[in-house]
Amino acid sequence: MAEHIISLQGVTKEFDTKNGKVVALRDINLNIDKGDSYGIIGLSGAGKSTLVRTINLLEEPTEGKVLFDGNVLTGLKSKALNIHRRKISMIFQQFNLLMQRDAIGNICFPMEIAGVPKAQAIAKAKELLKVVDLEDRAHSYPSQLSGGQKQRVAIARALASDPEVILCDEATSALDPKTTRSILKLLRQINEERGITLVVITHEMEVIKQLCNKVAVIENGEIVERGDVQEIFARPKTKAARKLFFPDGETSEKPVGRTSTKNRIRLVFNEQNAYKPIIARMIMELNAPVNFLYANLDVLGDQQKGQMVICLSEDKATAEKQKAFLAREGVEFIELDDEMEEVTE
């Protein structure tokens, strides 16, 4: 059994406001194993940023325990807590670089705080610049760097303390799509080659698909679904997960809801059947057309997954034959009619 490096047990977080108490997190129970790239995804205001800040106790839970590598962090004095925090680095959406320091100075900063000799810190910072492919920008200041370069410096700084865990709080939200892909590739490389556990906070499903092996869906301060990314992509059980995993996120189901055609289903194809003409053969074999509403080929980690939303025959008997055909071909599907009516009311 894999060892939990992070464990949240019954974590609740309340904030006092002028309008009374606000519950940001409610009874969170979450285990993250060593080596995971664990995504925590939710819409704006779901509580995901508060959740990540409880992991390193930047936010003290109102109730519950936070464990890191088997040690209870909640309740520790500052000195003891800081010893554990050195093994947990953080990457932020807005980079949080020191503007008066160049790239190598920013990377050296956490080592200076830890008392690493200057020459040793500079040597290590130069090695980390190689890791993030910024050797030629060692003496560039943040104002001279692009957004992607700033985030690479921030990643190198996060690596400077030899962390066991890196928390990524919307680390690519301020970047364009091309730069986002390069940063996600770098983070995935760090996770795979160095064995560093990543905890990835995001509202973007593409980040989860490209980077994470596990995911938890948070809504209104509660974890509503969790598991392997592949499994939840294929069979999302909750309305919140379906909003995130279906095409175009929250609004994906609305175009589907405008048609009066019944028997709508979402198909998921794996690498074995994604390129086979299964739908074409079904149409010819059963002599029954289908209505195509959406189709896309996704990459989840290093695996390809196809998804498609179609309308089967309005004739109940024919629709059942179509479903049986898909099941024989190993195509997973979810029937959407009831869910669409619920979502588009």
pLDDT in tens, 52-84: 999 999 999 999 999 999 999 998 888 889 889
Express each pLDDT in 173-229 by its tens digit.
Answer: 888 888 988 999 999 999 999 999 999 999 888 888 889 999 999 999 999 999 998
Domain 4-238 has CATH 1.20.210.10: no
Q: Are strands 165-169 and 197-202 parallel, antiparallel or unpaired?
A: parallel
Mean pLDDT within 125-154: 94
Mean pLDDT, rounded, for 227-240: 83
Q: Return the residue matching tokens 């890191």.
A: 68
Whats the size of the chain, residue-wise?
345
Residue 209 burial (10 A CB sphere; 0-12, 13-18, 19+): buried
Rounded distance between C-alpha atoms, residue 56 and residue 59, angstroms: 8
User: pLDDT class for 260, splitting at 50, 70, 90?
Assistant: very low
Amino acid at 344: T
Whole-number pLDDT of residue 133: 93
Residues 6+ apart with CB under 8 A from 22: 14, 15, 16
Summarised one tens digit per residue, pLDDT across range 266-314 is 888 777 776 788 888 889 888 888 888 877 766 666 666 777 888 888 8
Question: Considering the chain, what is the average pLDDT of its residues?
Answer: 85
Segments of the chain assigned to CATH 3.40.50.300: 4-238
Predicted pLDDT at 5 = 94
Distance CA 280, CA 290 (A): 10
Q: Please report which confidence band the pLDDT of residue 343 belongs to, taking 50, 70 and 90 as the band edges.
A: very low
Residue owning tokens 């700084």: 157
Q: Which token pair is 18?
A: 């002028």
Which pLDDT belongs to residue 341? 39
Of 237, 292, 230, give the one whose Cα is nearest residue 265. Answer: 292
Element containing residue 191 per DSSP (H, E): helix 177-194
Looking at domain 246-343, does it have CATH number 3.40.50.300?
A: no
**Could you please report the per-residue DSSP string of 211-266?**
H-SEEEEEETTEEEEEEEHHHHHH---SHHHHHHHSTTGGGTHHHHHT-----EEE
Angle (CA) 72 200 333, round 5°: 115
Predicted local distance difference test score (pLDDT) of residue 261: 53
Residue 88 or 275, more confident = 88
In this prediction, residue 254 carries a pLDDT of 41
And the tokens for 94?
A: 């807005």
The mean per-residue pLDDT over the stretch 87-116 comes to: 92
3-class SS of residue 345: coil
pLDDT band at 171; cut points 50, 70, 90: confident
On whether the CB atoms of residues 32 and 5 are closer than 8 A, the answer is yes
Segments of the chain assigned to CATH 3.30.70.260: 246-343
